Amino acid sequence: MIKESWKNKGYVDEVVDTDNIKEAINKLKKEKNAVILAHYYQEGEIQDIADFVGDSLALAQWAAKTDADILVMCGVHFMGETAKILCPDKKVIVPDLNAGCSLADSCPADRFARFVEEHPDHTVISYVNTSAATKAVTDVVVTSTNARQIVESFPEDEKIIFGPDRNLGNYINSVTGRNMVLWDGACHVHEQFSVEKIIELKKQYPDALVLAHPECKSVVVKLADFVGSTAALLNYAKKHDNKNYIVATESGILHEMRKQCKDKNFIPAPPEDSTCACNECNFMRLNTMAKLYNSLKYEWPLIEVDPSVAEKAINPIKRMLDISAKLGL
Ligand code: 13P
Ligand code: SF4
């Protein structure tokens, strides 16, 4: 029985009834034929208990092929929506429904639809960090892993609208020579990194390579040695011999970097305001082990997508998955 007070809160607010939460999660998972998928920005313990940890593209690809009955998406709401659209018959859970995304929120579907109408002869490319309703007015979805290649799969003179991230859009424009019309949105975490503090760190660690996510401001991207999705940043660090890396993205990725590269030193890029934990996504971090356990126990909160919206949103998502498969991504 799902309590009204939980519905108001958006998660199961109950004291955990087990001493061994890891064992209890694994037991429930088995009993219910559930899988746990986690984004690299989740707390380390959630990443460690997940069946799969990945970036936004890999999570969507995994969701599309799983035969589990329940999919627990330890990430944010748009990731749960994408999984639900791809697997309408499965139960898709995000342990805390309040796990939103400032970037997705910067692009309300009704305003984006008007923007699209104002550019009638344009192809609409949307970052996966959007609501299902925004995807429903999109021609093709991209993630930070495949955005460049998908944009380049269109003829050079194709008129393109790109939303919602102006930083990712500017970056793609700069590396492809395109002139896409950009929606003016951004992620509150990636906008925070301080160029001055990164330069100071470089003085302290002269051999350090700067790894930046393309959602960062262009001043940060310009001083980076490598720009890529969370998975690409991790792979880059694995392949290089340098000892030190300054990482300009949400600091959750450092967990997997440290796990996979035990002899290397990963330094989180500092935000402008050194008194806050602004390089942590407060939405991503709403998911906890307790909420994960309770969400599996009660099979709630469930992600629901209006079927009329899902019917439209599935096409640009599938198009992305098809192009990515052809590109071997
Ligand atoms: P990737 O998962 O594509 O690296 O994007 C990061 C992000 O901001 C997810 O919200
Ligand atoms: Fe959204 Fe930024 Fe959090 Fe990623 S880090 S989920 S883009 S708010």
Q: What pLDDT is stored for residue 119 in this prediction?
A: 97
CA atoms within 13 Å, Cβ hemisphere of 190: 27
75 and 118 fall within a common domain: no
Please check whether residue 49 lies inside any domain of the structure: yes
182 and 315 fall within a common domain: yes
CATH number of the domain within which 21 lies: 3.40.50.10800
318 and 181 fall within a common domain: yes
Both tokens of residue 203? 């003085």
Mean pLDDT, residues 76-98 taken together: 98
User: pLDDT digit string (tens) for 30-72?
Assistant: 999 999 999 999 999 999 999 999 999 999 999 999 999 999 9
Residue 140, amino acid = V
315 and 182 fall within a common domain: yes
CB 280 within 8 A of CB 42: no
- Centre of ligand 1 to C-alpha 296, Å, is 24
196 and 262 fall within a common domain: yes
Both tokens of residue 319? 């198009």
Q: Please count the structural domains in the chain.
A: 3
* pTM of the predicted protein model: 0.96
- Centre of ligand 2 to C-alpha 168, Å, is 13
Please check whether residue 273 lies inside any domain of the structure: no
User: Measured from the CB, is residue 187 less than 6 Å from ligand 2?
Assistant: yes
User: Measured from the CB, is residue 129 less than 6 Å from ligand 2?
Assistant: yes
User: Measured from the CB, is residue 324 less than 6 Å from ligand 1?
Assistant: no
Please check whether residue 276 lies inside any domain of the structure: no
Mean pLDDT, residues 276-291 taken together: 95
pLDDT band at 274 (very low <50, low <70, confident <90, very high): confident
68 and 111 fall within a common domain: no
User: Measured from the CB, is residue 61 less than 6 Å from ligand 1?
Assistant: no
HEC secondary structure over 46-107: HHHHCCEEECHHHHHHHHHHCCCCEEEEECCHHHHHHHHHHCCCCEEECCCCCCCCHHHHCC
pLDDT band at 273 (very low <50, low <70, confident <90, very high): confident
114 and 167 fall within a common domain: yes
Place of tokens 């305001």: 273
Which among 244, 198, 237, 232 has a CA at the least distance from the CA of 217? 198
Q: Is 229 a residue whose pLDDT tops 90?
A: yes
Q: Please, what is the average pLDDT of the chain?
A: 97
Please check whether residue 115 lies inside any domain of the structure: yes
- Centre of ligand 1 to C-alpha 79, Å, is 10
Q: Which residue's alpha carbon is at the smallest distance from atom 5 of ligand 2?
A: 281
183 and 195 fall within a common domain: no
Q: What pLDDT is stored for residue 277 in this prediction?
A: 83
196 and 126 fall within a common domain: no
| 34: CB partners within 8 A, 6+ apart | 28, 68, 69, 70, 71, 72, 296
154 and 124 fall within a common domain: yes
Q: Which residue's alpha carbon is at the smallest distance from atom 3 of ligand 2?
A: 281
- Centre of ligand 2 to C-alpha 106, Å, is 11
61 and 75 fall within a common domain: yes
Containing domain of residue 220, as a range?
Answer: 190-268
